[in-house]
Amino acid sequence: MKKYISRFCILFTVFLSLNQPIMAQNSENKHVSCLQNNGSKTCYRDTGSGSATLVLVSGATMGLETWGSFQEQLSEYARVISYDRSGLGNSDYIPDSKNIGSMTAELEMIINTLDVNTPVILVGHSIGGYIVRKYAELYPQKVKALFLIDAYHELFYKELKAAVTEEMWNDYIGNWQNIIAQVPPGAADEISFNLGLMESGERYAIPPDIPVYLFTSIKEVEIEERFVEFNKRAFAVHLRLNKQLENDHKNLRHIITDKSSHFIYLDEPDLITNEILKTIGN
C-alpha cells in the first residue's frame, strides 16, 4: 500500500538522481565541451551570452544533463555554465575528489579556465548548495548572488539521526550502503560525502554582503508505507533548519513551494528564473 506524505523522501529522490549519470553518458552532448584538469577530462556546457554569468552546480550524483531546459531558458538572458563533476556524466573519475575542498576547487577551476567575468551568480541544487556556499565563503568578491535549490543545512543528517528511531536510522543507512555498492565510483563517493556530514564539523558560511535565495519544496509525493514516518520526521528537520537559516541571515530570502518536488528547477523553473532575472536586472 502507498500513501501521500509531505515531500522529503530522501530515498526516493536518491533513486531518481542515480539515473542521471547514466542518462548523461547517453545524451547528444549538445554544446558540451571538455577541458583538461591536471590530466583528467572535465566536461561542461557553456551557453548564452550577456553581461551576467551563472554557474549551475548540480546535486549529488547528477551531471550537467540534469539542468536541461532550465539552462536553455536562462541562456536567453545570460551566459550559463553547467559541468560534470569528477566521475559524473562524461568527466573522468578522480579519486579522493569528493570532499568539500576538492569540489570547491573544481568549481574555481571551471570559473577560471572558462574566463568567466566575475562576480558570478551561483546556483546550487541539493548538495550543490554546500559547494556554492563554501565557494562564496572562500571567494566572496567573485560571487554576486547565491541561489540554493532545496539545499540541505549542514546539520541536517546529525539532527535527522536524533529525530528518528534506531531501527529507522539503521534501515536508512542500510539503503544508502546498498546503493553505494551498485553505482559507479564518482556517484558512490558523492553519497559517501553526504553520509560523512553526520560526523563532520564543517560549517558553510553565508557572507552577509551577498544576497541569498533559498528555495524549499514541501510538495507531497507518493512513497512506500514503510518510509512514511521516517520521511515525515526528515521533512520536519529539513524545513525547520532552512527556516533557521532564514531567521539567522537578513540577506537570505526563503521561498517555500508546494508545487515542486526536490527538483524545483525542473518542476517550477519560473519560480527561480524570475528571481534570477531580478538579480541580473532583466
Residue 78's φ and ψ, nearest 5 degrees, are: -160, 170
Q: Which CATH class is domain 2-280?
A: alpha beta
Phi and psi based region of residue 113 (left: phi greater than 0; alpha: psi -120 to 50; beta: remaining): alpha
- How much is the average pLDDT of 129-141? 96
Phi and psi at 222, nearest 5°, equal -85, 125
Residue 221 above 90 pLDDT? no
pLDDT at 228: 85
Q: What is the rounded end-to-end Cα distance, in angstroms, of the chain?
A: 48
Upper half-sphere CA count for residue 140 (Cβ side, 13 Å): 10
Cα 19 to Cα 88, 187, 196, 248, distances in angstroms:
11, 10, 22, 36
What digits encode the pLDDT tens for the residues 179-220?
999 999 999 999 999 888 878 878 888 889 999 999 999 887
Domain segments of the chain as ranges: 2-280
Most confident of the ranges 11-15, 33-37, 137-141:
137-141
Contact 118, 141 (CB under 8 A): yes
| Percent of the chain residues topping a pLDDT of 90 | 72
pLDDT value at position 9?
Answer: 41
> Where does the pLDDT of residue 27 fall: very low under 50, low under 70, confident under 90, or very high at 90 and above?
very low
